[in-house]
Structure 1
Amino acid sequence: MSKLADRAAPVEVADGYRAGRTLPFRVELVRQLKRRRTMVMGGVLFALPLILLIAFQVGGDPGGNNNRVNLMDTATASGANFAAVNLFSAAGFLLVIPVALFCGDTVASEASWSSLRYLLAAPVPRARLLWSKLAVGLSLSLAALVLLPIVALVVGTAAYGWGPLELPTGGTLPTGTAAQRLLIVVVYIMVSQLVTAALAFWLSTRTDAPLGAVGGAVFLTIIGSVLDEVTALGDWRHFLPAHWQYAWLDAVQPQLQWTDMIQGTSISVTYALVLFALAFRGFARKDVVS
């Protein structure tokens, strides 16, 4: 009976301890913002519009040397067009890197520094630690996706003036409508990147090597893009998140189309939820020794 009573006795905690107050979002956000990789990635995204501007200044008309009409051909039409072209140029690969970095480095880096066990001994509940790090990782990823078009809009407006968004198929969108469409584009790109974020986060809970988590997520994302180019797969490609990564181009058409973006969102969210669940389930049972 005494053993049963001991097992049933409540666990004593220190006065004032609240599990929900450990590792608050603000503290974790400040920690991640101060890291060098955050500053470097911010600098890269800030520099991309300047690099494209120099390329257009040196190369001249972006559509002058081809017979195809696409979004790139309208890059110098206005600041809004320049921002849209920056998103088009970066969405396929460059924007994958900050998402994988901020979500894949977050837990694995603590393990590589041998500080993860001390955080848990603080004590920070495991679920609380993951929620805090995931929230910060996704917030920084969204900030990276927002930073690029904002800088591009400022640079493009200074170079090419403020004006409507000229569409590659003909016609224009007023500045107000163009701003709304660009916002839709950024939101969709973030949603489509949830798969990369979830994959990187799951790998981060499985390894003590940050480079392995980040590199693994980027590598598998690239593999998905390569498989999407294999037309022999037929309709099986519709189950690949990469198949829908440019569905946001429907937002820069005269008539906004939602069908492909809705399908892409459903695929991305489904994969992301499964991977996030695996991350929390595996970390809850993991023997943390680093």
Structure 2
Amino acid sequence: MTALPLRAEVRRQLSRRRTLVVFAVLVALPLVLVAAFALGRSDDPTTARGFVDLAQDSGANLVVFALFASTGFLLVVVVALFAGDPVPSEASWSSLRYLLTAPVRRERLLRQKLVAAALFSGAAFVFLPAWTLLVGGLAYGWGPYVGPTGDQLGYPLVLARLGLVVLYLALSLGVVGAFAFFLGTLTDAPLAAVGGAVVLWIVCAILDQITALGGLRQGLPGHFAFAWADALAPTVDYSAMAQGALWSVGYAVVLVAAAVWRFLRKDVTS
């Protein structure tokens, strides 16, 4: 029998309370948004309409606003939780040393943990827009997506564009998961790994506001976080998304390699 099969790791992560909490929050988010719009409805005309102003135009518009509202923090925390928690949790439960003597090779353990983290993060990225589209469609109808400039995208084109948005989010936030995973190989405290990745994102967001850094800001994680909005234009401009994805993938490869190198040489005493 293969030691530590992926299905066993997936079942293990499914049973975790933090997994249930994450998806409960994702379930609640579009419901809270619909309730908030119902309570705070305003008939005042606006000259410039953004994602929030257009959120009630259709289910697709609510999806876009939900992604816009969650990109800067909520999805960051979700990815950090799924990637940064598994390894230090095993250490805090005093089961990491047992797993490594089962025997499970260290590189295999890291691979299974990383693959499971990617699967759950990907599931969250797909679930949020899919569930929000259902809630938004029932609340606001199934009309076309209406952009801030008045351009419209009908079905099934808007679904394809939302798929592109989800793919870009998964790539651009990969740096968060990779950094959380790296920190998870350095500490036995899950909160330190998760919190460290979130703090990195926040610090980079602050630095990104310093215009004196000039072109250096393009190399900061999160600089292209909202480039996915280009995918919703009538004609897609891939340049910003390509840069954001390349930076994120590059950082992720280096950080995952560093995590493997460190863990293979770590004296596991937990």
Instruction: State the TM-score, normalized to the length of structure 2.
Output: 0.97
Cα distance in 1 for residues equivalent to 2:48 and 2:213: 27
Alignment of 1:199-210 (within 5 A): 199-210=179-190
Equivalent position amino acid for 2:22 in 1 = M
Equivalent position amino acid for 1:244 in 2 = F
The residue that corresponds to 1:34 in the other structure is 15
Say whether 1:81 aligns with 2:61.
yes
Say whether 1:25 aligns with 2:28.
no
After alignment, is 66-75 or 120-129 more displaced?
66-75
Cα distance in 1 for residues equivalent to 2:184 and 2:260: 11
Equivalent position amino acid for 1:41 in 2 = V
Cα distance in 1 for residues equivalent to 2:7 and 2:209: 42
Say whether 1:286 aligns with 2:262.
no
Structure 1 runs of 4+ aligned residues shifted over 2 Å read 63-69
Cα distance in 2 for residues equivalent to 1:218 and 1:24: 30
Cα distance in 2 for residues equivalent to 1:64 and 1:128: 58
Say whether 1:59 aligns with 2:59.
no
CA shift for structure 1 position 195 = 0.4
Cα distance in 2 for residues equivalent to 1:65 and 1:113: 56
The residue that corresponds to 1:8 in the other structure is none
Equivalent position amino acid for 1:44 in 2 = V
Say whether 1:92 aligns with 2:68.
no
Give yes or no for contact 1:78–1:156 (8 Å, CA) kept in 2. yes
Cα distance in 1 for residues equivalent to 2:236 and 2:182: 35
* Larger-gyration structure (1/2): 1
- Aligned counterpart in structure 1 of residue 93 of structure 2, from 75, 88, 113: 113
Cα distance in 1 for residues equivalent to 2:67 and 2:56: 14
The residue that corresponds to 2:164 in the other structure is 184
Cα distance in 1 for residues equivalent to 2:144 and 2:261: 49
* Gap regions ≥5 residues in structure 1: 1-16
CA shift for structure 1 position 279 = 0.3
Equivalent position amino acid for 1:84 in 2 = V
Cα distance in 1 for residues equivalent to 2:268 and 2:248: 30
Give yes or no for contact 1:167–1:254 (8 Å, CA) kept in 2. no
Give yes or no for contact 1:207–1:213 (8 Å, CA) kept in 2. yes
- With over 3 angstroms needed to count, the CA separation of the structure-2 counterparts of 1:124 and 1:253, relative to structure 1, is same
- With over 3 angstroms needed to count, the CA separation of the structure-2 counterparts of 1:65 and 1:106, relative to structure 1, is farther
User: What does the per-residue CA deviation read over 1:148-205, in whole Å, with 9 as the maximum and x for residues that have no partner?
Assistant: 1111101100001111111111121111110000010011011011000000000000
Give yes or no for contact 1:28–1:132 (8 Å, CA) kept in 2. yes
**How many residues are paired up?**
270
Cα distance in 2 for residues equivalent to 1:65 and 1:103: 44
The residue that corresponds to 1:10 in the other structure is none
**What fraction of aligned residue pairs are identical, expressed as a percent?**
51
Alignment of 1:116-155 (within 5 A): 116-155=96-135
Say whether 1:166 aligns with 2:146.
yes
